Amino acid sequence: MSASKPILIVGGGVIGLSIAWRLVRRGQPVVVLERDRVGQHASRVAAGMLAAAAEVGYEEPELYQLCRASLQAWPGFAAELEAESGLDLDYRSFGTLVVADDRDAAAALRRGYAFQQAQGYPVQWLSGAEALDLEPMLSPRIVAAVSVPEDHAVDNRALLTALEKAIRKHGGQVREGAQVERLDTMPDAAAVVLAAGERLEGSRIVMAAGAWTSEIKDWPGGTAPSIRPVKGQILELQTRPPFQLRHVVRGRKAYMVPRSDGRLIVGATSEEMGFDPHLTVGGIHGIMDGAWEMVPGVLDQYLLSVDVGFRPASRDHQPLIGFTADPRIFLATGHYRHGIVLSAVTALASERMLLDGVRDETVVFFDPSRRQTRS
Ligand code: GLY
């Protein structure tokens, strides 16, 4: 292996691009190989919530702490990327309001609140009236809410554009329409073979192919990591004054993430439908019904777009970050619902492991050696 060979990054979503940016800015040649167009799939069809508390389950304290570590890294990560790309990421430091509209929902919210407190997260319990004071667009039916002031948000589409721009600025290559069909690892070479037949050698290969990871053939040892697509449908609205949300608002059936320019992202379904690309009336109805129950004024806003994406889910719904048994193959995939928030910590840890040879304690729990392969 020659040190002058590039690191090949398979996947041009937020994880692949973030890692490529961290590597290329240190002078490491990189080639990003994206099967379609960069940033078109799960990373684009996302809301950009930088939320540790709102999306992680009770049985996932390690994932929760990883999200928190990423949240702490995000302000610096965003500021550096904005400076290098010259683009505004619409990084917003308002918090999340997790709301409950009946007694059952309030009881579930109370359990989540206790978990978050036990994890040391600064959260505040609010009555319905207190929540309405903070967020006047809420429905008067809201009976309770938890305020999570440390949750932030970013415009994920701006983030993807900025990453690509910064990579290219540093001389990194980003190749679109470059579908990796299989790995080709021999004792003296680590390579990928594209569907079109081209073979590319690298010093290392970073597998960040998201929901498509398991489709790639010929993994060393014969076993691909098990990553499945979990379909999500999401809406983008253009809001009109006087409608304005001051927080990310989420309930049991929907979440809403406001942008500075008045757009509002409303999501999302979670469907075990494989790579089914269709929008469904029921999916959109379910999201809007949940959104309307929390914020009735949302129904008067303009619909801009509706999209489908595929979250990459590992067997335990937690990411795989680190070297495989073959030290030339590095995994950064399976980020499921948390790709945008975890992009910062994943990229920083990957940079340390790939360029400095340092074992990174923040991601050690997410080492790919845990049993995740397809048998
Ligand atoms: N993180 C938002 C979602 O997966 O829908």
The pLDDT score that the predictor gives to residue 221 is: 85
Query: Side-chain half-sphere of 202: how many Cα atoms within 13 Å?
Result: 27
Residue nearest to atom 4 of ligand 1 (CA): 337
Name the residue with the closest Cα to ligand 1, atom 1: 337
Grouping H, G, I as helix, E, B as strand and the rest as coil, residue 259 is coil
pLDDT of residue 373: 52
For the Cβ of 319 lying below 6 angstroms from any atom of ligand 1, the answer is no
pLDDT at 120: 86
Q: What is the mean pLDDT of residues 233-258?
A: 96
pLDDT of residue 57 exceeding 80: no
pLDDT of 2 higher than 50 = no
Residue from 44, 50, 55 to probe ligand 1 pocket by mutation (most atoms less than 8 Å from CB): 55
| pLDDT on residue 3 | 53
337, 340, 342, 343: residue to mutate for ligand 1 pocket, most atoms within 8 A of CB:
337
Mean pLDDT of 102-118: 92
pLDDT of residue 1 exceeding 50: no
Interatomic CA distance for residues 18 and 346, integer angstroms = 8
Instruction: For 305, list phi and psi in degrees, rounded to 5.
Output: -160, 160
Each domain of the chain, given as residue ranges in start order, spans: 7-51+157-227+315-374, 96-151+229-312
What is the per-residue pLDDT for 207?
98
Answer left, alpha or beta for residue 242, where phi above 0 means left and psi between -120 and 50 means alpha: alpha
- Kindly give the distance from the C-alpha atom of residue 28 to the centroid of ligand 1, in angstroms, as a whole number: 32
Place of tokens 């600025």: 169
Nearest-CA residue for atom 5 of ligand 1: 268
The string of pLDDT tens digits covering residues 117-130 is: 888 889 999 999 99
Confidence category of residue 255, pLDDT binned at 50, 70, 90: very high
| Burial track 196-217 (b if 16+ CB lie within 10 A, e otherwise) | eeeebbbbbbbbbbbbbbbbbe
The dihedrals phi and psi of 3, each to the nearest 5 degrees, come to: -65, -20
Residue 58 vs residue 191, higher pLDDT: 191
Q: 163: closest CA among 332, 347, 14, 352?
A: 14
* CA pair distance 347, 363, nearest whole angstrom: 11
Provide the sign of the torsion angle of the four alpha carbons 54, 60, 66, 69, taken in this order: positive
Tens digits of per-residue pLDDT, 24-49?
999 999 999 999 999 999 999 999 99
Average pLDDT (70-74) is: 96
Output the pLDDT for position 375. Answer: 45
Which residue bears the tokens 């500075």?
A: 260
Q: Give pLDDT, residue 371.
A: 62
Look up the pTM and report it.
0.96
What is residue 6's DSSP assignment?
Answer: P
Residue bearing the bigger pLDDT, 354 or 117: 354
Q: Above pLDDT 90, what percent of the chain?
A: 89
| Cα pseudo-dihedral 132, 89, 122, 318, rounded to 10 | 110
Note the pLDDT of residue 288.
Answer: 98
Q: What percentage of the chain reaches a pLDDT higher than 70?
A: 98
Please work out whether the CB of residue 267 comes within 6 Å of at least one atom of ligand 1: yes
55 in ligand 1 pocket by Cβ < 6 Å? yes
Name which CATH class applies to 7-51+157-227+315-374: alpha beta
- What CATH number belongs to 96-151+229-312? 3.30.9.10
DSSP string across 24-41: HTTT--EEEE-SSSTT-S
Question: Is 12 near ligand 1, meaning CB less than 6 Å away?
Answer: no
- Check residue 121 and give its pLDDT: 86
Residues 131, 233: Cα–Cα separation, whole Å: 28
Give the bridge partners for 202, in sequence order.
Answer: 190
Spatial distance between the Cα atoms of 226 and 323, rounded to a whole number of angstroms:
16
